[in-house]
Chains A and B, each alone.
Chain A
Amino acid sequence: MKNMMEQMKMMGGHGDNDKCPLTGASKAVSMIDGAAMLVIGTEECAYYTRSTLNMKGSAENCFSVVLDKNDVTFGSIEKVRTAIDELMQEIKPKSLFLITTCVVEVIGDDFSALEKELSEQYSIPVRVIKTNHYQGKDAEHGYELVSEASKDFAKMNKRPGILGQIFGGRKDKNQSGNGMDRSKMLANMSDEQMLAMARQKMGNKMSDEQLLAMIKMKLRSK
């Protein structure tokens, strides 16, 4: 454990923000029923995202567009359009998240304008999630972005939107002040929503009563 703590200190950069927003965003999207994600970036971002989700058994809706030298020089938007077309033909998701990474932001490709156009073209909500880590934000920021982007999904799809992975021992706000206020979010949820979320995280190890008691205890302790 000492080694792990030392390593974290030596990782440098942003203290508590060592986890990239991409990790949070991808995990959050993987928990939305019927949603697909398209990670746009380097092989590393695509590989590690799919690999991590795969180990948790939730990679089936994780796709990517890997950018090469040509895309970095001349732009990647057309390549991404082609990939989205392929994806829509093959899996027909209920919603689509375009998760852009550091490289996309460095080269200045702006996918925001595609949101409306693609939403209309495919008649599903399409959202762009920017996860460039050099802005100093962490995994929770990724959750927050997906949560914010999908808040109107409940109306559109008649089911609750994404709420992300909200439990765990970490404090609510990270040091940079960009973290999501999980206590507030939990307080606004119904018991059923909280239970559904908790089941995603905890599996069937605990009864509904035990889970609710644990969540409420956590809320009180905040």
Chain B
Amino acid sequence: MSLTRYLPTPSDRMGILWSLLAIEDAIILEYGTAGTTNYAMKTLMMSGVNPFERLFATGLDETDIALGETSRLENKIKELDEKYQPKVIFVMASSVSSLTGFDVQGVCNYLQDEVNAKLIVFNQGGFSGDYSTGIKACYTTLVDELSIEKLPQENFYNIIGLTNIAQNVQANIAQIDELLNKHFSLKPNAILSYKTDLKAIISMSKAKINLVMSYEGLEAAKILEERFGTPYLYACPIGRTATRIWLEKIAEILNLPLEEEKSNIKANPQAKKDKKIAIFTSYDQLVGLKKLAIELGYEIEFLLCNHSINKIKNRDADITYLKSEKEKINLFASLNNTLVLADNMLINHANKSNQKITISALNIGNWAENEAILGLLAEKIL
């Protein structure tokens, strides 16, 4: 059960790197072999993400590894600081540097006085969990390190927890934007992590509310609440009922009216009898889709998470996680006459008696490929 036939679940390090690449003016330095960074850049470029003048590597050779030499890291940080004069340099460990025990944080601590850029270190080398662990660490660190200054509140909201790794992120954000603009005249400020910039992250305190769309963003939202008193709402609204409740809660938090004629999202569609559903996606989307599926009368075959769930507190007991790819394939192959919502790899193992819709491919770039499932649009699929 140890063979991987398709793309493996991205690691924590990949989750961090891809989330940082959503910050358009970020300078990222990887302390590792140039080959890994080059390989990442090639894949990113082929996916439509531009890493040029944003992603760099120090390079590592055998001598560095044998002697614990860190001068490449020091020199490269100084070089980037001088050449680009960035506000922040994100310094990332690599699998090799973390295995060999390089103290990246220590180097950055003593180098901080010699450079103008703020140095923010991510020590994860790819062995501390999957992409979900990585993006959680990334959101928390970004908010903790950068959202420090309290600014006057304006008509903005922040989104925490819609990742650029999910291919439907663009459509989901558009749906939220439409709802928040229509009902409360609010505009998006920072979106962690999709097409944002350092200025938006630094000014997260100007938002009236933080919308937490996945558990990965919860810790970051709590920091903002504690630091600035900004309220947050943790929910992943999928379908009419959930969206209605979500909008009502936002109205309540912001003490704003929710106009009935504007919302117009009352009627539930007809319940579907004798129809089965199997879903494979991220944890919070599973929670939202489960509620909708039950409401619509589906019989649930399985709810399978595409990342590890053992660190999620009070998690839904119906949601499971399988590490082995073979077990996942067998599960999909066992489905018959079911609506299957999954990624573009596993879905192929469900036979032709099933109705199949791709909703959860994990791949940076190609963001416009899938339809939104947040808000009012999920019922188009189900």
Interface, chain A (partner B; CB < 8 A): 3-4, 6-7, 10-14, 17-23, 38, 42-52, 55, 63-66, 68-69, 72, 79-80, 82-83, 86-87, 90, 102-103, 106-107, 133-136
Contact = CB atoms under 8 A, between A and B. Distances in A.
A10 B56 contact: yes
B5 A63 contact: yes
A140 B83 CA distance: 31
A79 B65 CA distance: 26
A50 B33 contact: no
Contacts of B10: 43, 47
Which of A13, A23, A65: most chain B CB closer than 10 A?
A13
A86 B1 contact: yes
Interface of B: 1-11, 13-14, 33-40, 42-43, 46, 52-53, 56-62, 64-65, 72, 76, 79-80, 83, 95-96, 99-100, 126-128, 130, 326, 363
A interface secondary structure, majority: helix
A50 to B, nearest CB: 6
B8 A64 contact: yes
Contacts of B1: 82, 86
A71 B40 CA distance: 23
A11 B57 contact: yes
A193 B58 CA distance: 40
10 contacts: A11-B56, A12-B58, A43-B130, A44-B14, A52-B39, A63-B4, A68-B127, A69-B128, A90-B3, A102-B33
Contact of A20 (B11, B36, B79, B99): B36
Contact of B11 (A12, A23, A44, A55): A44
Nearest to B79: A10
Given A3-B52, A3-B53, A52-B46, A12 B59 contact: yes
Nearest to B99: A106
A21 B35 contact: yes
Query: Which residue, of B14, B127, B326, has the highest number of chain A Cβ atoms within 10 A?
Result: B127
A30 B363 CA distance: 22
B3 A136 contact: no
B38 A83 contact: no
B39 A44 contact: yes
B99 A55 contact: no
Contacts of B5: 63, 90
A47 B14 contact: yes
A48 B39 contact: yes
A109 to B, nearest CB: 12
Given A20-B33, A51-B43, A103-B99, A65 B2 contact: yes
Given A3-B53, A11-B59, A102-B95, A44 B7 contact: no
A17 B363 CA distance: 27
